[in-house]
């Protein structure tokens, strides 16, 4: 049941999902953003609803249509997303952080459009760090039986493999499952296909071969359901 459409096995569960990419405004018309399409988070919402869950999707700047039967809560910035996710966490049996959250935001948001000056001076952009939503909800659990899932897009570096970085990230964040994507060479972003390794807190690693985002969503919900039972 890889795509998971057949069974209503998530009936009675409330799942909270974030999707898309946050925007951190510099002025009313300009922002620091990222190119997350939101497709994986929307697939998670669609599949969970199809399997009988009550679904709340906190969506950051995605152009995708609202999935049928899903409550969609639009947000713009990482702080908005933090407020919506932490405010709704106590009501959720599972939380999946599929959104690409900006690590930093401009220290000051200017009320009016930033203008060029006659002397050609270039403005500096000072950044401050955004709150870490996944870390917060994992370390301050609203419920003991809640299952929390993170995503990590990694490229590996000279000292560590992608899986080593993923394992360290799972420990640091304190979540139950971490879906690790290899994004070296521009893979995944905006694609309809996804390939991942899902790390479990207990130490296991489940490779998910390249397939649709719906198929990966189905595998993620299967693992979440295993944690509940």
**Is 116 known to sit in a ligand binding site?**
no
- Match 């994004």 to its residue by tokens: 183
Token pair of 193 as six digits:
């296909």
Residue 52 or 183 with smaller CB distance to ligand CTP: 183
Q: Is residue 194 annotated as a catalytic residue, yes or no?
A: no
Task: Please give the residues from 129 up to 158 whose contact with ligand CTP meets the rule CB under 6 A.
Answer: 130, 132-134, 150-152
99 binds, among ligand CTP, Ca ion, none (CB under 5 to 8 A by kind): ligand CTP
Q: How far is the CA of 59 from the CAs of 16, 71, 75, 90, in angstroms? A: 11, 10, 6, 19
**Could you tell which of Ca ion, ligand CTP, none binds residue 150, using a CB distance below 5 to 8 A set by kind?**
ligand CTP
Q: Is 103 in the site for Ca ion (CB under 5 A)?
A: yes
Instruction: Record the tokens describing residue 13, joined without a space.
Output: 């569960």
173 is in an annotated binding site: yes
Largest CA distance in the chain: 66
- Closest approach of Cβ 120 to ligand CTP, in Å? 34
Distances (CA, A) of 80 to 14, 87, 101, 144, 201: 21, 10, 11, 25, 28
Distance (Å, whole) CA 161 – CA 158: 8
**Residue at shortest CB range from Ca ion:** 103
Report the interface residues with ligand CTP, using CB under 6 A: 78, 97, 99, 101, 103, 130, 132-134, 150-152
Report the interface residues with Ca ion, using CB under 5 A: 103
């Amino acid at each position: 049941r890889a795509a998971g459409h057949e069974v209503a096995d998530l009936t009675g569960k409330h799942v909270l999902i974030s999707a898309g990419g946050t925007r951190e405004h510099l002025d009313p018309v300009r922002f620091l953003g990222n190119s997350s399409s939101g497709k994986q988070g929307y697939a998670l919402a669609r599949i969970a609803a199809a399997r009988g869950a009550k679904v709340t999707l906190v969506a950051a700047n995605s152009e995708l249509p609202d999935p049928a039967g899903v409550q969609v809560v639009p947000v713009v910035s990482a702080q908005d997303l933090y407020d919506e996710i932490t405010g709704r966490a106590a009501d959720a049996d599972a939380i999946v952080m599929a959104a690409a959250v900006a690590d930093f935001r401009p220290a000051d948001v200017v009320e009016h459009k930033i203008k060029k000056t006659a002397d050609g001076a270039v403005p500096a952009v000072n950044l401050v760090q955004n709150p870490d939503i996944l870390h917060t909800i994992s370390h301050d659990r609203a419920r003991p039986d809640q299952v929390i899932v993170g995503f990590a897009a990694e490229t590996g570096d000279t000292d560590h493999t992608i899986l080593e970085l993923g394992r360290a990230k799972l420990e640091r964040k304190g979540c139950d499952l971490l879906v690790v994507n290899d994004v070296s060479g521009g893979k995944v972003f905006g694609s309809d296909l996804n390939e991942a390794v899902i790390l479990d807190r207990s130490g296991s690693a489940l490779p998910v071969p390249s397939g649709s985002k719906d198929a990966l969503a189905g595998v993620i919900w299967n693992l979440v359901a295993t944690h509940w039972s």
